[in-house]
A = this chain, B = another copy of it.
């Protein structure tokens, strides 16, 4: 038997057919073409990709246990509706039902917010496998969050919970697009790291950061780590500053949830232990349950770009 996971992303609609252990057997994708066509057309592409993959496995839909969609925005997982997604001006769009229709009435079709689905994917088939409670923090353009309690996604009473990146860790700090100031994501996202790198470069004209990125426009999430590995003091300061903010936010999450596993993902985590070790040391020093024999395990997410697909496929498995 199979499951299907659909990652409805801003750039691509990626679909995967998995086995019962959520291992991806076949994958296919099409460009989302956001802003260029109706969402109904995008759902038609989802249906086409599902059909294509089922055929590729020489299977039939009768052998598919569930289809799941991971979507951005506020997703009502009970009704399978995108309640709100500003990126496409979606409001109360019954995506699960529409996909079901386009697949000749196939059921069940589940839905969840993409960050939440990714968290579930890591718990059921990734770096947090086996954990009953886990958090997933994605360090990307922003800081995304997913909460898994008792192997189920925690969504809050209005399906809008887990905006972990929009917790203020520096009151009256850097303005955030959400309207607040000092949100964690302004410091711990890749965007935050890039900002800190640029600020340091402007302050330190002599830094080797300038040889890694010859102009401010060339700065990315790797610039500071690359220069720090070359021994540049200014770059080391940026890395320390970035990891300090990250650890403060992560320690907040540990003090709130004491999850079995705290999973961090996103491009910055490509640094691996270089990032993980000092951050873990600080989180363990700052977290409240120092006396407890059981401490939260900090790990790097393992599903990478497949997190959405696996998480969406996992939705049917966590019911």
- Seen from chain A, the residues whose Cβ lies within 8 Å of a Cβ on chain B are 74, 83-84, 86, 131-133, 145, 147, 149, 154-164, 166-171, 173, 178-180, 245, 248, 251-252, 255-260, 285-286, 288-289, 291-296
Contact = CB atoms under 8 A, between A and B. Distances in A.
Given A157-B258, A161-B257, A259-B157, A245 B74 contact: no
Contact of A170 (B171, B257, B293): B171
A169 to B, nearest CB: 6
A285 B158 contact: no
Contact of A166 (B83, B161, B288): B288
Contacts of A161: 255-258
A292 B149 contact: no
29 contacts: A86-B291, A131-B157, A133-B156, A145-B256, A155-B258, A157-B258, A157-B296, A158-B293, A160-B288, A160-B289, A160-B292, A161-B258, A162-B256, A163-B255, A164-B256, A166-B288, A167-B167, A167-B252, A168-B169, A168-B248, A168-B251, A168-B252, A169-B169, A169-B171, A170-B171, A171-B245, A171-B248, A178-B288, A180-B286
Nearest to A171: B170
Give the secondary structure class of A's interface: loop
Contacts of A84: 291-292
A92 to B, nearest CB: 10
Contacts of A257: 156, 161
Most buried by B among A131, A256, A260: A256
Which 10 pairs between the two chains have the least Cβ-Cβ distance? A156-B258, A160-B289, A158-B294, A161-B258, A167-B252, A157-B260, A163-B255, A163-B288, A170-B171, A158-B292
A138 to B, nearest CB: 15
A244 B149 CA distance: 31
A75 to B, nearest CB: 12
A192 to B, nearest CB: 13
Contacts of A288: 160, 163, 166, 178
A270 to B, nearest CB: 25
Contacts of A256: 145, 147, 161-164, 167, 256
Nearest to A258: B156
A117 to B, nearest CB: 17
A123 to B, nearest CB: 13
B286 A156 contact: no
A281 to B, nearest CB: 14
Contacts of A166: 255, 288
Most buried by B among A131, A173, A255: A255
A241 to B, nearest CB: 11
Given A84-B292, A157-B259, A164-B255, 17 more contacts: A74-B289, A86-B291, A145-B256, A149-B154, A157-B258, A157-B294, A158-B295, A160-B288, A160-B289, A163-B256, A163-B288, A164-B256, A167-B167, A168-B248, A169-B171, A171-B248, A179-B286
